[in-house]
Chain A
Amino acid sequence: MGYVAVKGGQDAIECANKLVDYFRWKGRTKPIELDQARTQMRLAVDRAMGEGSLYAPAHAALALIQVEGDSFEAAFHLRAYRATLERRYYAEVLNTREMFVHRRISSTFREIPGGQILGPTRDYSFRLLNPALVNATLGSIEKFIGNLRDEIDSAKIHEMTSYKKVIDIFLKEGLMSRQARPGEDRRVFDVTKEAIKFPVPRSAALQMLARAETGALMCMAYSTMRGFGMSHQTVGELRVGDVPVRIVDRRGRTRYVGKIKVSEAEMVGGGGSGRGARPAAEGGRQSRNSAAPRFSIGYGLCFGQNETKAICMGMVESALRTPNPDNPANNQEFVLYHTEVIEAYGFTNHLKLPHYVTFQAGMESYRRAMRAAEEAKTEEVAVSAGAEEDDND
C-alpha cells in the first residue's frame, strides 16, 4: 500500500500507552481499589462528577484511578462515557427543600431557622500535613468509628430532616421577588443537545456553569470581587446534602429514581446594582442595608460536595445577569466558552499536534514580506517573525 511508514505513528502510540502503564506500575505498589478511590478520594470523585456532568460515583472513581488522579482527564473520561448514553428522560426540577442536609450554613444571619449546621468541612481545620494518616489501619478506622458512634445520641438522628430555606426570610419580608425579570428568557435549554446561541437563557448559563471547570469558575468569581467586577456577594445559604430525583415516564407517571448528593449555594446580592449586600467578611450579623430595593440570588448547584464551585457558580451567575463588557465575568460569551473544561483542556493541548503545514504557510508569508521589504529598502516596513512584539519604534 505504498512506501509511507504509517506503522511508525501506530507503533509510537502503542509504546506511549505501554510507558504510561509502566510509570504507573514501576513502583510495584498495591493497585488502588475502586472502593478505596470512591470513598477515600470522595471530593475528587465529586468534582469529577460535576465537571464530567454525570452522576456516577463508581465510574468517576474508575476514571480517577485510570488517569492517575488528573482532574481534567477524569472529567473528560466521564463526559466521553456520558456521550454514549441516550437521554431518555428529563428529571423533574430538583427540590432542594427536600434535601437531607449534611451541612448548611448562612453568612447573612447569625441564626437561621433550623440552625447552622457546620457538617463535614475542612474550613476550620489547620492545614498541617498529618503524618498519622500514613499509619492508619483498618483497626484504627474501626476504633474511630466505634468512638464516634458512642458520641451520637441516636434519638436525635431522627430529628434531622429537611429545612426551610434562608431565602424564605427575604421572600417573606418582600426583600426578594419570585417574579422573573422583565424580558427574562425562561426557556429550559439542554446544552448537551443543542449548541448555545447568544444571548443564552438563564437555564443554559446555569447548566454550563454547573459543568464548568472548578478552577476556571473560581478565577472568574474571584475577579468579580477584586477589581474586575462590582459585586461582593454574601452566602445566603450553602447546603450540601442528598436530594431525591424524580422523572416522569412515558405514561406520564412520576417515578422516584434515587438520591444524589449536591452542593447548593444561594448568593445574595443587590438586584442589578451589585450593591446592597454586606461583605461576607462581616458576616454573622444581619444585613441592615435597607437602601437596597431588592435582593437577588446568584444560584449555584453542582454534583457532590464541591462548595467552592457552588459558591463561585452563584457569584458568576449573578455577574452574568448584569452584563458589562469591561469585566470578563460579566460577559456571557467570555465566561461560558472559556470555563468549559473539556473544550479548554482539549484545545490548549492540541498545540502538541504537528502544525508544520500551517506553520510553513506562515513562514512563507514572512519570507515574502522580508523579500518585499528588502526590495523596497524602506525602514518603516519592519516585518519579521516578531513584528508585533518588536514594533516599539
Chain B
Amino acid sequence: MIENLKFQDSFNYAYIDEFTKKEIRRKTLKAVCIPGYQVPYSSPEMPISRGWGTGGLHLTLSLVGPDDVLKVIDQGSDASVNACNLRLFVKEMAQCALTFDTAAATIIQSRHRVPEEILTENQILVLQVPQPEILRGVERHEAKTRMMHAEADYAKIWVTLYEAYVRNGHLRSGAGHPIMVNGRYVATPSPIPGWDVPNLSMARCLYLFGAGREKRIHCIPPFTPVKPLEFEDIRFKVEEFVGIKCQMSGQDKAFMDQIYAEDFSRYFVINDSNFLDKVRQGPRPPQKLFTNPE
C-alpha cells in the first residue's frame, strides 16, 4: 500500500510551489493585457479558508520577494483579525518586511477598501474578491455570463441598475458598484464602497483582483480609464458624509465608519486606520477626492 510516513516540516518559499506560481504569474500577465477580463487560473488550496482572501493570497505570494514591504488591511484596518492572520502567514512564508504605512508598502493586500492615500507606480494593490462575476446577479450560469462578456452584451445589468434606481431613488445599491474598464469589460471593483471607485481610474499603481474560490484573476492596469456604470441623467455618486467629522481627528473628507455608542448614539471615525494615524500626526497625506455631480 502507498503510505508516506514522512511529515513535511518546511515549505517552499512563499508556500506555493514554483510550478504553480509560474502558472499564476502567466495568468496575471494575461489579466494585465486584457483589463477587466476575468482570467481563469488554477487557484490551489491554501491553508487559509476559501472566501477569506485566498485569491488575494495567491496574487501576493506569487508577487512577493524578500525585498518587499507588505501591508495587509481588512475593512480599511491593519488591526482586523483576518488582516493580522494573513500578514503573519505571508511573513512566515516569504520573510518579507511588514508595514502599516501605506506609503512604505510595495504590496498592499486589501479586503473591501482602497486606501485613501494616493498609491504610486511602485505599489501594487491586491484586492480580495468574493464574487468576480459582476453579472452573476443577473445571470446565474457561468457559461452564459462568459458569452455576455464575449459579446459585450451588458443589457441585463443596465436594466438591473435602472430598476435599482426606480426602487431606491439612486444608482448605487451598496458596495461593489459595477465598473466599465477601458471601455470594454464590465467588471466588479470588489466590494469596495462607492467612495473608492473613482480611485481606480487612471491610477498610478497597479490593481490586481484575486478571486480564489471562483478561480479568477482580473486587473486594472495603471492609467486605465474606469467608469462606474451610470446613466447620462442619473449619475453615480459616492457616499456623502455631510456635516460629519471624525471623532478622533476632527477631520472630514475620508470614508467614515459609523460607530454606535453604548447609548445607541452614532459617531464617526475615519475608516482607513493608517490614514487616521497620519491625519492625527499631520501633515495630511495626498488624496484623490471625487465631487458628486449635482
Query: Is B truly associated with A?
Result: yes
Identify the A interface with B (CB < 8 A). Answer: 1-6, 8-10, 12-13, 55-59, 62, 76-77, 79-87, 192-199, 242, 245, 257-261, 333, 342-350, 353-358, 360-365, 368-369, 372-373, 376, 381, 383, 387
- Whether B287 is near chain A, meaning CB under 8 Å from some CB there, is no
Q: B112 near A358 (CB under 8 angstroms)?
A: yes
Q: Report how many residues on chain B are interfacial, defined by Cβ distance under 8 Å.
A: 82
B276 contacts which chain A residues (CB < 8 A)? 3-4
Q: B5 near A79 (CB under 8 angstroms)?
A: no
Closest residue on chain B to residue A368 by CB atoms? B170
Q: B7 near A80 (CB under 8 angstroms)?
A: no
A193 contact from B23, B46, B216, Cβ within 8 A? B23
Q: B52 near A346 (CB under 8 angstroms)?
A: yes
A354 contacts which chain B residues (CB < 8 A)? 74-75, 80, 82
Determine the distance from Cα of A10 to Cα of B17 in the docked complex, in whole angstroms: 27
User: Shortest CB–CB separation between residue A161 and chain B, in angstroms?
Assistant: 18
Q: B42 near A192 (CB under 8 angstroms)?
A: yes
Q: B274 near A4 (CB under 8 angstroms)?
A: yes
- Whether B265 is near chain A, meaning CB under 8 Å from some CB there, is no
Determine the distance from Cα of A358 to Cα of B172 in the docked complex, in whole angstroms: 12
B120 contacts which chain A residues (CB < 8 A)? none
Determine the distance from Cα of A372 to Cα of B52 in the docked complex, in whole angstroms: 36
- What would 16 A/B residue contacts be, using CB atoms closer than 8 Å? A3-B276, A5-B79, A6-B78, A58-B5, A196-B40, A199-B143, A258-B2, A349-B52, A350-B130, A357-B76, A362-B175, A365-B172, A365-B173, A368-B169, A368-B170, A372-B169
B106 contacts which chain A residues (CB < 8 A)? none
Whether A80 contacts B47 in the complex (CB less than 8 A), given A2-B274, A197-B40, A350-B130, comes out as yes
Q: B50 near A345 (CB under 8 angstroms)?
A: yes
A373 contacts which chain B residues (CB < 8 A)? 169
Determine the distance from Cα of A362 to Cα of B43 in the docked complex, in whole angstroms: 30
A1 contact from B100, B113, B257, Cβ within 8 A? B100
Determine the distance from Cα of A84 to Cα of B9 in the docked complex, in whole angstroms: 12
B175 contacts which chain A residues (CB < 8 A)? 357-358, 361-362
- Whether B54 is near chain A, meaning CB under 8 Å from some CB there, is yes
- Whether B273 is near chain A, meaning CB under 8 Å from some CB there, is yes
Q: B44 near A9 (CB under 8 angstroms)?
A: no
Whether A83 contacts B20 in the complex (CB less than 8 A), given A5-B79, A9-B79, A347-B51, comes out as yes
- Whether B77 is near chain A, meaning CB under 8 Å from some CB there, is yes
B146 contacts which chain A residues (CB < 8 A)? 198
Q: B176 near A76 (CB under 8 angstroms)?
A: no
Closest residue on chain B to residue A348 by CB atoms? B51
Q: B100 near A6 (CB under 8 angstroms)?
A: yes
Determine the distance from Cα of A372 to Cα of B168 in the docked complex, in whole angstroms: 8
B168 contact from A55, A80, A85, A368, Cβ within 8 A? A368
Determine the distance from Cα of A211 to Cα of B226 in the docked complex, in whole angstroms: 39
Determine the distance from Cα of A198 to Cα of B140 in the docked complex, in whole angstroms: 13
Write out, one digit per residue, whether chain B residues 97-114 have a CB within 8 A of any chain A CB (1) or not (0).
001110000000001110
Q: B79 near A4 (CB under 8 angstroms)?
A: yes
A198 contacts which chain B residues (CB < 8 A)? 141-143, 146
Determine the distance from Cα of A17 to Cα of B207 in the docked complex, in whole angstroms: 34
Within 8 A of A (CB), among B122-161: 130, 140-143, 146
Shortest Cβ-Cβ A-B pairs, 4 listed: A346-B50, A350-B51, A195-B40, A372-B169
- Whether B264 is near chain A, meaning CB under 8 Å from some CB there, is no
User: Shortest CB–CB separation between residue A120 and chain B, in angstroms?
Assistant: 16
Write out, one digit per residue, whether chain B residues 176-194 have a CB within 8 A of any chain A CB (1) or not (0).
1000000000000001111
Write out, one digit per residue, whether chain B residues 51-81 have a CB within 8 A of any chain A CB (1) or not (0).
1101000000000000000000011111111
Q: A56 near B4 (CB under 8 angstroms)?
A: yes
A358 contacts which chain B residues (CB < 8 A)? 112, 174-176, 191, 193
User: Shortest CB–CB separation between residue B265 and chain A, in angstroms?
Assistant: 16
B17 contact from A85, A245, A346, A355, Cβ within 8 A? A85
User: Shortest CB–CB separation between residue A386 and chain B, in angstroms?
Assistant: 14
Closest residue on chain B to residue A347 by CB atoms? B51
Determine the distance from Cα of A195 to Cα of B55 in the docked complex, in whole angstroms: 13
Q: B168 near A383 (CB under 8 angstroms)?
A: yes
- Whether B199 is near chain A, meaning CB under 8 Å from some CB there, is no
Whether A3 contacts B168 in the complex (CB less than 8 A), given A84-B8, A350-B51, A361-B193, comes out as no
Q: A194 near B42 (CB under 8 angstroms)?
A: yes
A59 contacts which chain B residues (CB < 8 A)? 4, 7
Whether A369 contacts B168 in the complex (CB less than 8 A), given A193-B42, A358-B175, comes out as yes
- Whether B3 is near chain A, meaning CB under 8 Å from some CB there, is yes
Whether A4 contacts B112 in the complex (CB less than 8 A), given A13-B81, A195-B41, A333-B143, comes out as no
Within 8 A of A (CB), among B1-47: 1-5, 7-8, 11-12, 15-20, 23, 40-47
A356 contacts which chain B residues (CB < 8 A)? 75, 257
Whether A343 contacts B17 in the complex (CB less than 8 A), given A9-B83, A383-B167, comes out as no
Determine the distance from Cα of A325 to Cα of B259 in the docked complex, in whole angstroms: 46
Q: A369 near B79 (CB under 8 angstroms)?
A: no
Q: B52 near A86 (CB under 8 angstroms)?
A: no
Closest residue on chain A to residue B47 by CB atoms? A80
Determine the distance from Cα of A328 to Cα of B18 in the docked complex, in whole angstroms: 38
Whether A353 contacts B82 in the complex (CB less than 8 A), given A82-B45, A198-B143, comes out as yes
User: Shortest CB–CB separation between residue B176 and chain A, in angstroms?
Assistant: 7
Q: A346 near B213 (CB under 8 angstroms)?
A: yes
Closest residue on chain B to residue A88 by CB atoms? B19
Determine the distance from Cα of A59 to Cα of B5 in the docked complex, in whole angstroms: 8
Determine the distance from Cα of A365 to Cα of B240 in the docked complex, in whole angstroms: 11
- Whether B202 is near chain A, meaning CB under 8 Å from some CB there, is no
Within 8 A of A (CB), among B243-294: 255, 257-258, 271, 273-274, 276-278, 280-281
B41 contacts which chain A residues (CB < 8 A)? 195
User: Shortest CB–CB separation between residue A75 and chain B, in angstroms?
Assistant: 10
Q: B2 near A245 (CB under 8 angstroms)?
A: yes
- Whether B239 is near chain A, meaning CB under 8 Å from some CB there, is yes
Q: A346 near B51 (CB under 8 angstroms)?
A: yes
A194 contacts which chain B residues (CB < 8 A)? 40, 42
B80 contacts which chain A residues (CB < 8 A)? 9, 354
Q: B77 near A4 (CB under 8 angstroms)?
A: yes
Q: B79 near A8 (CB under 8 angstroms)?
A: yes
B51 contact from A2, A4, A260, A349, Cβ within 8 A? A349
